[in-house]
Structure 1
Amino acid sequence: MDWFQEIDSYCERLSPAYWAEPINAVTNAAFLIAAFIMWRRVRGQGMALAMVLVAILAAIGVGSYLFHTHAQVWAAMADVLPIVLYILVYIFAINRDVWQMRPAYAGAVTALFIPYAAATVPLFQLVPGLGASSAYAPVPLLILIYAYLLRDRAPGAARGLAIGAVILIASITFRALDEPICGHLPLGTHFMWHILNATMLGWMIEVYRRHMTRTV
């Protein structure tokens, strides 16, 4: 693998220059803002996993910034890996603290996300216009499944998860539209993926925080 291979995946990028995607780069500040807001909301409440999620949220912003400035394979990994880690940690948190599973069992159920994604991504790839965004499509579906299953056990958390899923669906839609409408909107729409994703990921931490403090 050539870790320094150039990647041109977004409408805004017209060259390999560092600032070829200024809007896509700068809007990653939304992740840092969301992380700071949630850090202030969860600090001192004894919720270690929430603090871990806050740290990962900040790392998502940094990784995405690196990708939209350097646009190379190594930067793409810095962009994607924190997102995957956030998903896994969040699933574990919900399994352990909302479903009240034992940690080992919660971890085992969390690991099922890998085969779940492997099975569902090819199905979403069949959806016209979704393109590379099909890799993210299994996530809002899983959130909605959790929301439905938790509707009686934790109705407040279930509502919060459903709201998060809707925001993520909107975010994925903007991501998928980036290339198709590039000829009409030179900036593309990927920057909205950043803004809505930051909102959604911060909100998901808030849903967890509220459940843990029972203020949902």
Structure 2
Amino acid sequence: MEWMRQIDAYCERTDFTYWSEPVNAVTNAAFLVAALVMWRRTEGLPLGRALCVVLAAIGVGSYLFHTLATAWAAMADVLPILGFILLYLFAANRAYWGLGPWAALGATALFFPYAAVAGLAFGQLAFLGSSAGYAPVALLILAYAALLARRAPATARGLAVGGGLLVASLTFRTLDEPLCAGFPLGTHFMWHILNGAMLGWMIEVYRRHVRGAGALAAGAARG
């Protein structure tokens, strides 16, 4: 791969100068703010803290891509997102389903064949464009919400909200290029803002579930 190859992928960019995407670049602060807020709320939760670190890395990687616009910066943008997905799935499989470490790891690995098949299916929908690769994640979150509806209804509702936020952010990401001629700023910046809120919320859903389970266990022990 030509790591220094430059990439023009979003409406706001008009050339390859550093600040050609100022709004897309600055709105990555949403990831950092969400990471900081959730860091303060996840004390005593190692996986929650790890998710906060990866969330901050998403903001840094995306900032690099929207300023430098190179192939290596694109990797710095994409890899933390994948890392967050996998880490969250592992945490969810442990906390929401009560799986042991190895079983949770095995279930997390199933994301790769799932994403490959679902990505191909969503790729048939031409209007999704490059957002087709993220659509399987929204579907998976909503599937977890449905499957957890009886086992953990509050967690299921939280996941459904997260899935809805991701669908909304994907809509703005998808509309960036089609609306470009009439709206030169583009809509990709809303992907950052809503995604920052969504990922922070997903950590909060995990935090509430674990804290709630801990409270129940303590109550049962006292009883």
Alpha-carbon deviations, 1:13-71, whole Å to 9, x = none? 0001000000000000010000011011112xx21000000000000000000000000
- Of the three residues 90, 93, 96, the one matched with 1:95 is 93
User: Which protein is richer in helix relative to its size?
Assistant: 2
Following the alignment from structure 1 to structure 2, what is the Cα–Cα distance between the partners of residues 97 and 163? 18
The reply on whether 1:55 has 2:43 as its aligned counterpart is no
Counterpart position of 2:15: 15
> Could you tell me which residue of structure 1 aligns to residue 38 of structure 2?
38
Residue in structure 1 matched with residue 115 of structure 2 by the alignment: 117
Cα RMSD (Å) of the superposition? 1.1
Q: What is the rounded CA distance, in whole Å, between the counterparts of 1:126 and 1:184 in structure 2?
A: 26
The offset of 1:86, in angstroms, is: 0.2
CA-to-aligned-CA distance 1:182-212 (integer Å, 9 cap, x gap): 0010000000000000000000000000001
Instruction: Note the residue ranges of structure 1 that are not aligned, 5 or more in a row.
Output: none
| 1:202-213 to 2 correspondences below 5 Å | 202-213=200-211
Alpha-carbon distance, 1:127 to partner: 1.5
Distance in 1 (CA, whole Å) between partners of 2:144 and 2:118 is 16
When normalised by structure 2's length, the TM-score is 0.94
Q: CA deviation at 1:126?
A: 1.4
List gaps (5 residues or longer) in structure 2: 214-223
Offset at residue 122 of structure 1 (A): 1.1
- Residue matched to 2:130: 132
Equivalent residues, number:
214
Normalising by structure 1, report the TM-score: 0.97
Runs of 4+ residues over 4 Å off in structure 1: none
